[in-house]
Protein backbone atom coordinates (compact mmCIF):
# COMPACT_ATOMS: atom_id res chain seq x y z
CA UNK A 1 0.00 0.00 0.00
CA UNK A 2 1.16 3.51 -0.75
CA UNK A 3 2.04 5.40 2.42
CA UNK A 4 1.45 8.90 1.03
CA UNK A 5 -2.29 8.34 0.58
CA UNK A 6 -4.70 9.08 3.40
CA UNK A 7 -5.51 6.02 5.48
CA UNK A 8 -9.22 6.19 4.63
CA UNK A 9 -8.34 6.25 0.91
CA UNK A 10 -6.25 3.13 1.45
CA UNK A 11 -9.12 1.43 3.32
CA UNK A 12 -11.68 2.35 0.68
CA UNK A 13 -9.44 1.00 -2.08
CA UNK A 14 -10.62 -2.56 -2.87
CA UNK A 15 -7.00 -3.77 -2.65
CA UNK A 16 -7.05 -3.12 1.13
CA UNK A 17 -9.13 -6.27 1.69
CA UNK A 18 -8.31 -8.18 -1.49
CA UNK A 19 -5.92 -11.10 -1.33
CA UNK A 20 -5.76 -11.24 2.46
CA UNK A 21 -4.96 -14.94 2.38
CA UNK A 22 -1.62 -14.07 0.73
CA UNK A 23 -0.60 -11.60 3.46
CA UNK A 24 1.24 -12.50 6.63
CA UNK A 25 -0.37 -12.18 10.04
CA UNK A 26 1.55 -9.03 10.98
CA UNK A 27 0.29 -7.21 7.87
CA UNK A 28 -3.30 -8.28 8.60
CA UNK A 29 -2.99 -7.10 12.20
CA UNK A 30 -1.45 -3.83 11.01
CA UNK A 31 -4.44 -3.24 8.77
CA UNK A 32 -6.79 -4.05 11.62
CA UNK A 33 -4.92 -1.54 13.81
CA UNK A 34 -5.33 1.09 11.09
CA UNK A 35 -9.06 0.38 11.11
CA UNK A 36 -9.17 0.71 14.91
CA UNK A 37 -7.43 4.09 14.71
CA UNK A 38 -9.75 5.33 11.98
CA UNK A 39 -12.81 4.21 13.92
CA UNK A 40 -11.61 6.17 16.95
CA UNK A 41 -10.91 9.22 14.80
CA UNK A 42 -14.27 9.11 13.03
CA UNK A 43 -16.12 8.54 16.30
CA UNK A 44 -14.39 11.61 17.73
CA UNK A 45 -15.26 13.74 14.72
CA UNK A 46 -18.88 12.60 14.78
CA UNK A 47 -19.22 13.50 18.45
CA UNK A 48 -17.85 16.98 17.84
CA UNK A 49 -20.05 17.48 14.78
CA UNK A 50 -23.16 16.28 16.65
CA UNK A 51 -22.37 18.59 19.56
CA UNK A 52 -22.09 21.58 17.26
CA UNK A 53 -25.29 20.64 15.43
CA UNK A 54 -27.08 20.33 18.77
CA UNK A 55 -25.89 23.81 19.75
CA UNK A 56 -27.10 25.24 16.45
CA UNK A 57 -30.44 23.45 16.75
CA UNK A 58 -30.91 24.91 20.22
CA UNK A 59 -30.07 28.42 19.02
CA UNK A 60 -32.56 28.10 16.15
CA UNK A 61 -35.28 26.96 18.61
CA UNK A 62 -34.40 29.83 20.93
CA UNK A 63 -34.71 32.31 18.09
CA UNK A 64 -38.07 30.99 16.89
CA UNK A 65 -39.43 31.15 20.44
CA UNK A 66 -39.87 27.43 21.05
CA UNK A 67 -37.05 27.56 23.61
CA UNK A 68 -37.00 30.11 26.42
CA UNK A 69 -33.77 29.22 28.20
CA UNK A 70 -30.47 30.83 27.38
CA UNK A 71 -27.76 28.76 25.73
CA UNK A 72 -25.71 28.93 28.92
CA UNK A 73 -28.63 27.56 30.98
CA UNK A 74 -29.18 24.69 28.56
CA UNK A 75 -25.54 23.92 27.83
CA UNK A 76 -25.14 21.02 30.29
CA UNK A 77 -28.24 19.35 28.86
CA UNK A 78 -27.28 20.01 25.24
CA UNK A 79 -23.76 18.66 25.58
CA UNK A 80 -24.76 15.85 27.93
CA UNK A 81 -27.67 14.57 25.83
CA UNK A 82 -27.43 10.86 25.32
CA UNK A 83 -24.30 10.44 27.44
CA UNK A 84 -24.67 7.23 29.38
CA UNK A 85 -21.09 6.39 30.15
CA UNK A 86 -21.15 3.83 27.36
CA UNK A 87 -20.28 4.31 23.74
CA UNK A 88 -21.88 2.82 20.68
CA UNK A 89 -19.32 0.34 19.48
CA UNK A 90 -20.45 -1.71 16.49
CA UNK A 91 -17.08 -3.44 16.38
CA UNK A 92 -17.75 -4.74 19.91
CA UNK A 93 -14.27 -4.08 21.20
CA UNK A 94 -12.53 -1.78 23.64
CA UNK A 95 -12.00 1.69 22.22
CA UNK A 96 -9.01 3.89 22.83
CA UNK A 97 -9.69 7.15 24.65
CA UNK A 98 -6.83 8.90 22.86
CA UNK A 99 -8.23 11.66 20.70
CA UNK A 100 -6.79 12.08 17.23
CA UNK A 101 -4.54 14.97 16.35
CA UNK A 102 -6.68 17.69 14.83
CA UNK A 103 -5.25 20.77 13.21
CA UNK A 104 -8.49 21.80 11.55
CA UNK A 105 -6.68 23.06 8.49
CA UNK A 106 -7.06 20.10 6.16
CA UNK A 107 -8.90 19.81 2.89
CA UNK A 108 -11.59 17.41 4.05
CA UNK A 109 -15.14 18.64 4.67
CA UNK A 110 -14.85 17.65 8.31
CA UNK A 111 -11.69 19.76 8.69
CA UNK A 112 -13.41 22.77 7.17
CA UNK A 113 -16.56 22.26 9.24
CA UNK A 114 -14.66 21.91 12.50
CA UNK A 115 -12.34 24.83 11.76
CA UNK A 116 -15.30 27.24 11.58
CA UNK A 117 -15.41 29.41 14.71
CA UNK A 118 -19.16 30.04 14.42
CA UNK A 119 -19.72 29.35 18.12
CA UNK A 120 -17.85 32.52 19.05
CA UNK A 121 -20.04 34.46 16.61
CA UNK A 122 -23.33 32.70 17.38
CA UNK A 123 -25.26 35.72 18.72
CA UNK A 124 -24.30 37.77 15.67
CA UNK A 125 -25.11 35.24 12.95
CA UNK A 126 -28.19 35.69 10.82
CA UNK A 127 -30.74 32.89 10.70
CA UNK A 128 -29.79 31.97 7.14
CA UNK A 129 -26.15 31.65 8.24
CA UNK A 130 -27.18 29.26 11.01
CA UNK A 131 -29.01 27.13 8.45
CA UNK A 132 -25.99 27.13 6.11
CA UNK A 133 -23.59 26.19 8.89
CA UNK A 134 -25.97 23.46 10.09
CA UNK A 135 -26.13 22.09 6.55
CA UNK A 136 -22.32 22.02 6.21
CA UNK A 137 -21.99 20.22 9.55
CA UNK A 138 -24.62 17.66 8.51
CA UNK A 139 -22.83 17.07 5.19
CA UNK A 140 -19.51 16.57 6.98
CA UNK A 141 -21.17 14.18 9.45
CA UNK A 142 -22.72 12.21 6.59
CA UNK A 143 -19.32 11.90 4.90
CA UNK A 144 -17.63 10.81 8.13
CA UNK A 145 -20.41 8.26 8.75
CA UNK A 146 -19.99 6.82 5.25
CA UNK A 147 -16.26 6.49 5.80
CA UNK A 148 -16.85 4.89 9.19
CA UNK A 149 -19.15 2.33 7.56
CA UNK A 150 -16.36 1.51 5.09
CA UNK A 151 -14.06 0.96 8.08
CA UNK A 152 -16.60 -1.43 9.65
CA UNK A 153 -16.99 -3.33 6.39
CA UNK A 154 -13.22 -3.75 6.02
CA UNK A 155 -12.98 -4.71 9.70
CA UNK A 156 -15.56 -7.46 9.15
CA UNK A 157 -13.61 -8.86 6.19
CA UNK A 158 -10.29 -8.79 8.04
CA UNK A 159 -11.80 -10.30 11.18
CA UNK A 160 -13.32 -13.09 9.09
CA UNK A 161 -9.92 -13.82 7.57
CA UNK A 162 -8.25 -13.85 10.98
CA UNK A 163 -10.98 -16.12 12.37
CA UNK A 164 -10.53 -18.50 9.45
CA UNK A 165 -6.76 -18.60 10.06
CA UNK A 166 -7.21 -19.46 13.73
CA UNK A 167 -9.93 -22.00 13.02
CA UNK A 168 -7.88 -23.70 10.27
CA UNK A 169 -4.70 -23.69 12.37
CA UNK A 170 -2.90 -21.31 9.99
CA UNK A 171 -2.32 -19.02 12.98
CA UNK A 172 -1.79 -19.75 16.66
CA UNK A 173 -4.57 -18.43 18.90
CA UNK A 174 -2.06 -18.08 21.77
CA UNK A 175 -0.43 -15.30 19.75
CA UNK A 176 -3.56 -13.17 20.24
CA UNK A 177 -2.50 -12.20 23.74
CA UNK A 178 0.99 -11.22 22.66
CA UNK A 179 -0.28 -9.26 19.62
CA UNK A 180 -2.28 -6.70 21.61
Tell me how far apart the alpha carbons of residues 63 and 150 are, in angstroms, rounded to a whole number: 38
Instruction: For residue range 54-79, list pLDDT tens digits in order.
Output: 999 999 999 999 999 999 999 999 88
Helices and strands of the chain, counted as H and E runs: 7, 0
The pLDDT assigned to 109 comes to: 79
Percent of the residues in the chain that have a pLDDT greater than 70, as a whole number: 77
Does residue 101 carry a pLDDT above 70? no
The pLDDT assigned to 159 comes to: 93
The pLDDT assigned to 107 comes to: 66
Instruction: For residue range 14-50, list pLDDT tens digits in order.
Output: 999 999 999 998 899 899 999 999 999 999 999 999 9
Tell me how far apart the alpha carbons of residues 108 and 129 are, in angstroms, rounded to a whole number: 21
Name the band, by pLDDT with cuts 50, 70 and 90, for residue 164: confident
**Contact residues for 103 (Cβ-Cβ < 8 A; gap 6+):** 111
| Of 24, 76, 55, nearest in space to 125 by CA | 55
What is the signed CA dihedral for 56, 58, 63, 64, rounded to 10 degrees? 110
Give the H/E segment covering residue 129. Answer: helix 127-168
pTM of the model: 0.76
Instruction: For residue range 109-133, list pLDDT tens digits in order.
Output: 788 888 888 988 998 999 999 999 9
Amino acid sequence: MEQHRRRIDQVMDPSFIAGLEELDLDEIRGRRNTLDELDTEFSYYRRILHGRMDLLDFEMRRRDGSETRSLIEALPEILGDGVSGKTSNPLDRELSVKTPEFAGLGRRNVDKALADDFLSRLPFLEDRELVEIRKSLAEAEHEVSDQRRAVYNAYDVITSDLTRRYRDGAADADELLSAK
